[in-house]
Amino acid sequence: MNTLNRVVLLISIFVIASCGGGGGGGGSEDSYNSPPPNSAPTITNTVLNISVVENQTSVFTVSASDPDGNTITYSLTGTDSNLFGITMEGVVTFNNAPDFENPSDSNSDNVYEITANVSDGSLSDSADFMITVTNDTSDDSTTEGFNGTIAAAGPVQGATICIEVNAGTCTGAQFTTTSAQDGTFSLTVDSGTTGVLRGEGGFDPVTNLQFGEGDSLALGQPVTDQNVVISVISEFMNEGSTTNYDAYKTSLGIDSSFMIRFDNPFSNLDNAANNKAAVVNTQLFVLGKVLESIHTINSGSGARFKVSNAILARSGTETSLGDTTFIKDLLTNYDADFSPSSQQLIDLSSGISAYMQKINANSSNSHSHFMQVGVSELSTLMSAVMSGTATSTELDKLVFNTIDWINEDTAWSGGTITDNESKLNEMFYTLSNNGSANYVVDNINPSDTEFIIYVKEGDVIKFEAATTVTSNHPFKMSTVQNATSSDSGEIGTAEGWNQNTMTLTVSSSTPETIYPYCDFHSGMYSRGKIVKVSSFTQSNIDVTSATGALQVKGTVATGPFKGASGYTYKVYLNSQGGSEHTHTFQEYPGITFYMPADQGYHGSESSSSDTPFKAKSHYSSSSSDDTTSDNY
């Protein structure tokens, strides 16, 4: 084949191949109409930190678009997503309206973290959102404060202070705080909060006495506009469900000027009203604990309720919590299931009242130690009375030598005990004169009458002289009868005689017989004397002139009112016939007194108008023998 033909043939083959020869017939129709690739939806929100006010459910809307126009679905994930919901339109809401004061996010900081997700079914997008809940001040509660002190026998340290939610306890209380070493506290509460202010637990910083669950104290009707005091007195009032402060103070002998809710009795013990309230505070606590130790009331209100009602139910003028009649009546009516024998009742009433009578409050914090011994050793001994294991020796020591019992039979560590009943042993004799002829003692002329004053160790005899008696007629004591200034028998402080105060304190050093005399004039006390005895002889006492009712200052030694200390009145030195009972007194061994039934009182705090009994050989019929100086 020539060259030209070869060229033509090659060109024809190329053209045929370029036209898809070989039976292809050109490209398919699908290669020109296939869909474009899918694009993911996009969240378009520009603000990812959202702020909403509390108490509303709406939050924000998730904005999203899909370039292909596909349907978008929404969902939430993330830390706090369970607290939210989202609609088909992307609207995000709280399931429950948030509370700024009580945040529910995972870390309780009012910042809720969620992730919003969008999807077209195959492709998706997401964004993290932070929703901050802000405060709506319109629902804010304003706060107030209860400020004050909690006191038992002085301040209570470490007590939980609360407004009660559950009666009688701080359990479940919304507002609580703790008292400081001096008993002070500050409790912040929502404005308008009312209820009982209670203190429980803690301890006495003086003795470290721990206060248990049943020792809590409460104050009804607390206020926020001045400092308040939670005390034992306020607790017993609260237990007794009374708000009659005046009646309660009257029944306890507390001065009307003392404010139970606002005055801290231990803040100034030199103030008489405060001191009395401090003593009552300690006495009430001890009394309640002793009663709880001897009998558990299984139904109804407990010991504090019983004591509180007994206080309000008192009639008459007697207010001492150590009054034996009050204690005896309280025990008799304590509980239907409490039935001590007559001897147990005597032992309980005399033991409890004897201890209560000795409780005092002074600057050396003795009141804290009285409380500690009362709730421990006294409660233990009274429990022993009920179990039949107490001995008469220990009981009599408690009743008649209470301070010795405290010092020797208890864990007392409060130092020297002041005996606030020391005046039981004091007796006053009036002293005047008839010129230089004779003295006059209780209206008796000791120059022409064999006038004898009988004393025993522990007695204190005080002569109260009219204005000019001793300046003109120095009154002295001697072991020589009808002495003069030249005699050598004059006695002084070593024998118990105080010339300046004209007081004889009888001790083992006091001579058996003493003769008063005038240092200037002989014969002014020539037939009179003071005789020391260990017991008294009834026949030596003047029962002829002292025929009327007497009052005896001392402690009842026997009988159902054993232990009653103070003034027992409407008693006689001889039998009055009819229905009567007899008394003996610890201070006057050997003398029997007669008391008509349903008359008088045993161990009153205050004296009566009756003639004071004195261990002397002669009584005068003159009413001036009843000296007003003879106070207990």
Residues 367-423 have pLDDT tens digits of: 999 999 999 999 999 999 999 999 999 999 999 999 999 999 999 999 999 999 989
Residue 25 confidence (pLDDT): 39
Identify the band that residue 32 occupies on the pLDDT scale cut at 50, 70 and 90.
Answer: low
Residue 4 lies in a domain: no
Q: What is the pLDDT of residues 321-367, one digit of tens each?
A: 999 999 999 999 999 999 999 999 999 999 999 999 999 998 889 99
Q: Which helix (H) or strand (E) holds 229?
A: strand 228-231
Could you tell me the CA-to-CA distances from 254 to 122, 257, 280, 542 in Å, in that order? 88, 8, 8, 40
Residue 547 confidence (pLDDT): 86
Do 192 and 126 belong to one domain? no
Do 112 and 228 belong to one domain? no
> Residue 433 sits in a domain of what CATH number?
2.60.40
Residue 426 lies in a domain: yes
Residue 136 confidence (pLDDT): 87
Mean pLDDT over 533-557 rounds to 93
Q: What is the pLDDT of residues 241-255, one digit of tens each?
A: 788 999 999 999 999
Residue 26 predicted with pLDDT over 80? no
Do 278 and 337 belong to one domain? yes
* CB contact at 8 A, 542 and 618: yes
Residue 631 lies in a domain: no
Residue 7 predicted with pLDDT over 90? no
Percent of the chain having pLDDT more than 90?
81
Residue 501 lies in a domain: yes
Residue 57 lies in a domain: yes
Residue 282 has, within 13 A of its CA and on its CB side, a CA count of 29
Do 107 and 247 belong to one domain? no
Residue 30 predicted with pLDDT over 50? no
What total number of domains does the chain contain?
A: 4
Mean pLDDT over 116-134 rounds to 96
Query: b vs e for 422-452, b when ≥16 Cβ sit within 10 Å of the residue's Cβ?
Result: eebbbbbbbbbbeeeebbbbbebbbbeeebb
N- to C-terminal Cα separation, the chain? 167
Do 263 and 171 belong to one domain? yes
Could you tell me the CA-to-CA distances from 630 to 429, 544, 553, 584 in Å, in that order? 9, 22, 9, 20
Identify the band that residue 466 occupies on the pLDDT scale cut at 50, 70 and 90.
Answer: confident
- Residue 310 amino acid letter: A
> Residue 85 sits in a domain of what CATH number?
2.60.40.60
Do 124 and 162 belong to one domain? no
Mean pLDDT over 417-431 rounds to 93
Average pLDDT, the chain: 90
Residue 79 lies in a domain: yes
Residue 417 lies in a domain: no
Alpha carbon distance 575, 590 (integer Å): 16
* Listed residues 532, 567, 598: the one ending a domain: 532
Alpha carbon distance 67, 82 (integer Å): 30
- 315: exposed, middle or buried (C-beta count within 10 Å: 0-12, 13-18, 19+)? exposed
How do 529-532 and 452-455 pair as beta strands? parallel
Do 152 and 111 belong to one domain? no
* CB contact at 8 A, 134 and 53: yes
Do 192 and 225 belong to one domain? yes
Residue 248 confidence (pLDDT): 93
Residue 15 lies in a domain: no
Do 134 and 161 belong to one domain? no
Over 349-414, what HEC string results? Answer: HHHHHHHHHHCCCCCCCHHHHHHHHHHHHHHHHHHHHHHCCCCHHHHHHHHHCHHHHHHHHCCCCC
Among the ranges given (20-34, 289-303, 381-395, 492-506), the one the predictor scored with the smallest mean pLDDT? 20-34
Alpha carbon distance 592, 602 (integer Å): 15
Cβ neighbours of 107 (radius 10 Å): 10
> Which domain does 91 fall in, by range?
42-138
- 168: exposed, middle or buried (C-beta count within 10 Å: 0-12, 13-18, 19+)? middle
Q: What is the pLDDT of residues 481-499, one digit of tens each?
A: 988 777 789 999 999 999 9
Residue 598 confidence (pLDDT): 81
Do 405 and 429 belong to one domain? no
Interacting residues of 75 by C-beta distance below 8 A, sequence separation 6+: 86, 116, 117, 119
* CB contact at 8 A, 139 and 55: yes
Do 404 and 289 belong to one domain? yes
Residue 141 confidence (pLDDT): 64
More confident residue, 141 or 529: 529
- Phi, psi for 93 (deg, rounded to 5): -135, 155
Residue 213 confidence (pLDDT): 84
Structure tokens at 140: 């804010």
Do 375 and 447 belong to one domain? no
Whether the predicted model's global pTM rises above the 0.85 cut: no
* Listed residues 481, 499, 532: the one ending a domain: 532
* Listed residues 71, 105, 138: the one ending a domain: 138
